[in-house]
Chains A and B, each alone.
Chain A
Amino acid sequence: MTTTMLEVRDLETGYGAVQALKGVSLHVDQGEIVTLIGANGAGKSTLLMSICGDPRARSGHVILDGEDITSKPTHEIMRSGVAQSPEGRRIFPRMSVLENLMLGAQAAGRDPGPELPRVFSLFPRLKERQSQRGGTLSGGEQQMLAIGRALMSRPRLLLLDEPSLGLAPLISRQIFGAIRDLNEREGLTVLLVEQNANQALRLAHRGYVLVTGRITMSGRGAELLARPEIRDAYLGGGH
Chain B
Amino acid sequence: MTSPPAAAPHAFQPRLLAALLDASKATAVAFGLFVVMVGLRTDVGPTGALFLRTRWPDVAWLCAAVFVARLAMALWAGRRLPAVGSARRAAALSRAGLFFGPALLAIALILPFVPGIGRYELDLGILVLTYVMLGWGLNIVVGLAGLLDLGYVAFYAVGAYSYALLAQYFGLSFWICLPLAGILAAFWGVLLGFPVLRLRGDYLAIVTLAFGEIIRIVLLNWVELTGGPNGISGIPRPTFFGLPFSMSGGPGTFAGFFGLEPSPSHRVIFLYYLILALALLTNWVAIRIRRQPIGRAWEALREDEIACRALGINITNTKLTAFALGAMFAGFAGAFFATRQAFISPESFTFIESAIILAIVVLGGLGSQIGIAVAAIIMIGGFELFRDLEEYRMLVFGAAMVTIMVLRPRGLVGSRAPSVVLGAQRRIDAQHVSEGRG
* CA A191 to CA B162, docked complex, whole Å: 54
Give the distance in Å from the alpha carbon of A116 to the alpha carbon of B311 in the complex.
Answer: 16
Known A-B contacts A94-B303, A95-B300, A103-B311; A135 and B435 likewise in contact (beta carbons under 8 Å):
yes
- Supposing A92-B299, A95-B299, A99-B296 touch, asked if A86 and B307 sit within 8 A by C-beta, the answer is yes
Q: Residue A74 contacts which of B304, B309, B419, B435 (CB distance < 8 angstroms)?
A: B309
Assess whether B313 is interfacial by the CB under 8 Å rule. Answer: yes
Instruction: Say yes or no: A96 contacts B428, CB within 8 Å.
Output: yes
Contacts of B45 in A (CB 8 A): none
Q: Does B17 contact A (CB under 8 A)?
A: no
B312: chain A residues within 8 A (beta carbon): 74-79, 83, 107-108, 153
With both chains docked as a complex, state the minimum distance between the C-beta of B303 and any C-beta of chain A, in angstroms: 4
> Which chain B positions have C-beta within 8 A of A75?
309, 312-315
B435 to chain A: closest residue by CB? A135
On chain B, the residues within 8 Å of A142 by CB distance are 438
Chain A residues contacting B306 (CB-CB under 8 Å) are 86, 90
Q: Indicate whether A92 sits within 8 Å of B303 (C-beta atoms), given known contacts A99-B296, A131-B421, A133-B428.
A: yes
Given A98-B420, A133-B438, are A91 and B313 neighbors across the interface (CB < 8 Å)? Answer: no
The answer on a CB contact under 8 Å between B420 and A99 is: yes
Min CB–CB distance B306 → chain A (angstroms): 6
Chain A residues contacting B416 (CB-CB under 8 Å) are 94
The reply to whether A99 and B304 contact each other, CB–CB distance below 8 Å, is: no
Bound Cα distance A83, B423 (Å)? 29
Task: Tell whether A149 is near chain B: CB-to-CB under 8 Å.
Answer: yes
The listed residue (A73, A77, A90) touching B304 by CB distance below 8 A is A90
Name the interface size band of chain A.
35 or more
B310 interface hit (Cβ, 8 Å): yes
On whether the beta carbons of A84 and B310 are closer than 8 Å, the reply is: yes
Complex: chain B residue closest to A134, CB-CB? B438
Secondary structure call for the A interface: mixed
Does A102 belong to the interface (CB within 8 Å)? yes
Q: Are A106 and B296 in contact (CB under 8 A)?
A: yes
Proximity string of chain A (59-85) to chain B, C-beta cutoff 8 Å, 1 when within and 0 when not:
000000000000001111111000111
Q: A78-B312, A90-B304, A91-B307 are in contact. Are A135 and B432 (CB under 8 A)?
A: yes
How many Å lie between the Cα of A142 and that of B438 in the bound state? Answer: 10
Quick one: given A86-B306, A86-B307, are A102 and B314 in contact (CB under 8 Å)?
A: no
A30 at the interface (CB under 8 A from B): no
Please name the residue on chain A nearest to B434 by beta carbon.
A94
Q: A102-B420, A133-B428, A135-B437 are in contact. Are A95 and B303 (CB under 8 A)?
A: yes
Which residues of A122-170 have CB atoms within 8 Å of chain B's CB atoms? Answer: 130-131, 133-137, 142, 149-150, 153
**Docked CA distance A54–B432 (Å):** 32
List 23 A-B pairs, Cβ < 8 Å. A76-B312, A79-B312, A86-B306, A90-B304, A90-B307, A91-B307, A94-B299, A95-B296, A95-B299, A95-B300, A95-B418, A99-B299, A102-B296, A102-B420, A103-B297, A106-B296, A107-B313, A131-B424, A133-B428, A134-B438, A135-B438, A150-B311, A153-B311
B interface residue numbers (CB < 8 A to A): 293, 296-297, 299-300, 303-304, 306-315, 416, 418-426, 428, 432-438
- Residues on A facing B (Cβ under 8 Å): 52, 54, 73-79, 83-86, 90-96, 98-99, 102-104, 106-108, 130-131, 133-137, 142, 149-150, 153
